[in-house]
Amino acid sequence: MNIVLLGPPGVGKGTVAAILSHKHNIPHISTGNMLREAVAKGTALGKKAKEFIDAGKLVPDELVTKTVKERVAQPDCKKGFILDGYPRTSAQARALQEFAAIDAVLNFTAPPKTIIERISGRRTCRKCSATYHIKYSPPKKEGACDKCGSELIQRSDEKPGIITERLRVYEGQNKPLIDYYRNEQLLSEIDASFHITEIDKIVRQCEDAIKKSVS
């Protein structure tokens, strides 16, 4: 069972993916995390990716596709996988189809206001990178990490104005990809606007879409 998750930043794909991954015993593969890990470790891929990232450019399709292809060929993906962050373009989607048959594409949606609230409320520990949310999971002491006591910061890309621009860019760039999967009759719309306490409602939608696609 091979699943692709689509949706703008802050829509909650990662949280739901972790639940689905555990339930179905298939890996959740975040391409963003894979690239950041490769850069941190200084691997050959990481060094190549870092050149583009440092220049403020997107990592080329060929490089990302190669990374994903190698990852899904690993033993833990034998029963399937959940892809998060790839594909980002219809060209990547066509490349993916050449080495992995996709069973379902879940497109997570939520109102911009909801997404902005979720992302702008995030705070990250400057030292240990632990994450919090000023509304949903606040630290015990305002502005300080529960784990190490260091200062909590708001990343520059988590400020409302930047988030609005990120959402605008996402909508423009991802429409062709969504249209591609809709034409392939693989796309299911997932209402991800529910509060974290009602995450079961989002998971249930995903399960229904998956069941329908593989039946």
CA distance 37 to 46: 8
Which of 23, 118, 122, 211 does the annotation list as catalytic?
122
**Is residue 166 annotated as a catalytic residue, yes or no?**
yes
**Is residue 13 annotated as a catalytic residue, yes or no?**
yes
**Is residue 122 annotated as a catalytic residue, yes or no?**
yes
Q: How is residue 127 annotated by DSSP?
A: T
**Is residue 182 annotated as a catalytic residue, yes or no?**
no
In angstroms, the Cα distances linking 128 to 3, 41, 150, 152 are 32, 17, 8, 10
Which of 50, 166, 168, 201 does the annotation list as catalytic?
166
Classify burial at 129, counting beta carbons within 10 Å of its beta carbon; exposed 0-12, middle 13-18, buried 19 or more.
exposed
Q: Which residues of 79-102 are buried (b: 16+ CB within 10 A; e: fewer)?
A: ebbbbbbbbbbbebbebbeeebeb
**Is residue 204 annotated as a catalytic residue, yes or no?**
no
Which of 47, 79, 155, 204 does the annotation list as catalytic?
155
Could you list the active site residues? 13, 88, 122, 155, 166
